[in-house]
Structures are given as C-alpha cells and as structure tokens.
C-alpha cells in the first residue's frame, strides 16, 4: 500500500496545486468585482474540488449532522484538529452557516486560494506571539460574526494532533468568542482519522482514509458559566475521538 502511495501522492499534489491556482484568480474576481455571495460560492466550489483531489488517494468523507441547526443566529463551531484535511469538508458541509476561521497569521500568505480566502473571506488571522493583540482581533471578529449571523470555527488545541490523540484545549480564544457572542450557539464537532493521511509524514500520503465528522448537539452560552461550558464542549469532542495508533 505504501509503495502505491508514492505515485498517487504525486498525482494528488499536481491536481491539488492546480486547483488552488485555478481558484485564486476566480476568488479575486468574485471578491473585488461581484461581491460577498459570489465569493462565498467560489470558496464552496473550491472545497468541493479539494475534496475530489483527496479522492485520488482513496479518501472518503462521512459528515454526520442530525441536528436542525438554525441559520439565523451566529455559531461558534469548536472542533479537534488532526490535519489540514479537516478544513475543506468543514467549509463545504457547513457552508450554509457562512463558516469563518480563527487562524494563525502565518497561513495568511504564501498559499494560493487558501491565504486569499483567509485574508478576504471574513476570517481572522492572529499572531500567537502577540496575545493581547490577538485577543483584540478575536473580539472584533466575534462582533462581525454576530452582526452577520455567520459562524466562527476554532480549533482550541492550537495545533494539529499528529497521532489523533487530542491535545488539551487552549481556552483563551474560545473564551473570548463566547464572552463576546452571547447570542451564539456552541456547536462541538469531532473529527476522526484525518491524521492518517499524514501517517508517513508529508510524503507519501496515506491511502484509503475514511475521515469522519460528527456534529454534536448545540449548546447555548447561558447553560453554564464559560469555563464549565468550555470543559463540557472539550469533553463532548474528546469522548467521540477514536484512539488508534495505526
């Protein structure tokens, strides 16, 4: 299986880069000339094709969302983070909620299409070396999300879990979102198996991975005080993570 992974990874890398390069100028046009809704649709199509690129590796996606989550109030989507391959399905399957990311500032440049969307699509880029400035940026971001009834996606682990085992939540950013979005629903999502695409490292990529997303029942921000609410969300997510070593 690993031997086959080498040529398929090269094919995947070609189509992945080609997709990013094709959608970059399309994003520029829709953002600067047509407007928000056109740019949003472009981003959704981008995620669709990035997922199709992953199909080259035999990657499959299952997104379980049994809840009738309203679209007329803001959401705080909280998920564990296993790899960069978490992101296209989240953006695609949750697209009707206008998802925007709390992301590290390093991703705001250098990656065609991805960096452009992070800079111009409504997300917030934070510099983890400047915590006070980051908190201010998240406060402004929370206000924008609330005003537009969008959703904020945050990975509180702060970095990817390379083995699937979750890291402890770093709570400051999530706490800031909850404090400044009192009318939001908090939506926990558990992600399983995406780390397996990087089981060999960056090259070759893992084949035949089945990435599972499970959306849990939304919580209101007034159910518990903020620290207890964050702890409950963390526990909900962790309890559904599959602990595998292979």
Domains, the chain, in order of start with CATH, read 2-239 (3.40.1130)
Which residue in the block uniquely carries the two structure tokens 């009738």? 68
Question: Alpha-carbon distance 167 to 162, whole Å?
Answer: 10
* pLDDT score for 244: 60
Report in angstroms the alpha-carbon separations of 188 from 17, 70, 240, 245. 31, 15, 11, 24
Q: Which residues of the chain have pLDDT under 70?
A: 243-246
Report percent pLDDT > 90 for the chain: 80
Verify cis geometry, omega within 30 degrees of 0, for the bond prior to 204: yes
* pLDDT score for 224: 77
Please tell me whether the overall predicted TM-score, pTM, comes out greater than 0.85 for this model: yes
* pLDDT score for 246: 42
Which ranges of the chain would DSSP assign to H, the alpha helix?
Answer: 2-29, 36-55, 87-93, 114-120, 131-148, 172-180, 226-239
* pLDDT score for 27: 98
* pLDDT score for 242: 82
């Amino acid at each position: 299986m690993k031997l086959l992974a080498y040529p398929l990874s090269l094919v995947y890398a070609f189509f992945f880069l080609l997709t990013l390069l094709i959608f970059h100028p399309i994003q520029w046009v829709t953002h600067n000339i047509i407007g928000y809704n056109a740019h949003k649709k472009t981003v959704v199509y981008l995620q669709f094709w990035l997922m199709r690129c992953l199909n080259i590796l035999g990657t499959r996606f299952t997104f379980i969302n049994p809840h009738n989550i309203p679209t007329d109030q803001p959401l705080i989507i909280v998920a564990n983070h296993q790899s960069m391959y978490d992101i296209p399905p989240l953006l695609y399957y949750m697209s009707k909620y206008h998802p925007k990311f709390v992301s590290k500032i390093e991703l705001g440049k250098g990656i065609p299409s991805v960096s452009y969307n992070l800079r111009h699509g409504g997300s917030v880029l934070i510099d983890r070396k400047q915590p006070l400035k980051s908190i201010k940026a998240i406060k402004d971001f929370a206000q924008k999300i609330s005003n537009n009834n969008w959703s904020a996606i945050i990975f509180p682990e702060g970095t990817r879990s390379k083995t699937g085992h979750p890291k402890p939540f770093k709570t400051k950013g999530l706490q800031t979102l909850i404090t400044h979005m009192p009318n939001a629903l908090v939506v926990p999502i558990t992600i399983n198996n995406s780390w397996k695409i990087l089981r060999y490292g960056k090259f070759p990529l893992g084949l035949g991975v089945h990435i599972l997303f499970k959306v849990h029942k939304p919580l209101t921000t007034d159910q518990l005080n903020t620290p207890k609410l964050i702890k409950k969300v963390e526990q909900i997510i962790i309890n559904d993570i599959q602990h595998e070593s292979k």
